[in-house]
Structure formats: C-alpha cells, structure tokens
Structure 1
C-alpha cells in the first residue's frame, strides 16, 4: 500500500524534533452542494529542527516514532 503524502502549514515547532502541521481539505457537501473546508493537525518528525511556524511542508506516513508521531517531514512544499 502506498504511503500517503500530505501538504500543510507548520503551526507549532515547540517540541524537540517535532512539528505540528495543519492540513486543510475541501470537499463538496453531498446534500447542500456547498464547498466545505475541514482541517486536521498532525504531529510530524523533523530530524534537524529546521522548519519554523508558517512554513509550507509535505509530510509522509511512517512507522510510529512516538505515541502521537506517525508522520515525518519529506521536504518544504
């Protein structure tokens, strides 16, 4: 099964080697036919601590690195 790659914005870089990435998605409501925006926050592994708040990054699924981290940073988007 291929690994998912998501694109989002860094909203927190306070953890050591950890960033929090906010990923937004848009979809059409099935009944109202209106575009709806939803967002979700993912904890991602950042080995070199180079990404700061506001950066656009891509994250990819990985085996669990801690209790909440199952994503790691691929590159800046």
Structure 2
C-alpha cells in the first residue's frame, strides 16, 4: 500500500518532537456545485524540532508512533 503524502501548514510546535499540521482539501458540493473547503489537523512527528508555526510542510503516512501520531514530517514545501 503506498504511503499518502499531504501538504499543510504547521499551526502548533509547542510539543516535544511533534507538530500539528492543518491540511485543507477542496471539493465541489454534489448538489449545489459550489467549492467547499474542509480542514483537518494532523499530529506529525518532527524528530529535530526543525519546523515552526507558519511553515508549509509535506507529511507522510507512517506506522503509529504514539496515541495521536500516525504521520511524520518529510520536508519543507518551500524547499521542494
């Protein structure tokens, strides 16, 4: 099974080795044909604490690391 990669913005870096990433997805409403935005927060593993609030990052699906963490930060989207 391929690993999913999502792009989002870091909204919190207060935890040790963890960042909270906000990922936004857009889709067309099936009935009203209007573009709808939905956001979701993911806890991602950041081993070195390199990412700060406001950074745009890529996160990759991984095996469970802790109770909430199922993702890890791959790289800064600005550098990609």
Deviations 1:25-75 (A, max 9, x none): 100000000000000000000000010000000000000000000000000
Q: TM-score, normalised by structure 1?
A: 0.99
TM-score where L is the length of structure 2 = 0.95
Please, which runs of 5 or more residues in structure 1 have no aligned partner? Answer: none
* Runs of 4+, deviation exceeding 2 Å: none
The aligned runs of 1:30-41 (5 Å cut-off) are: 30-41=30-41
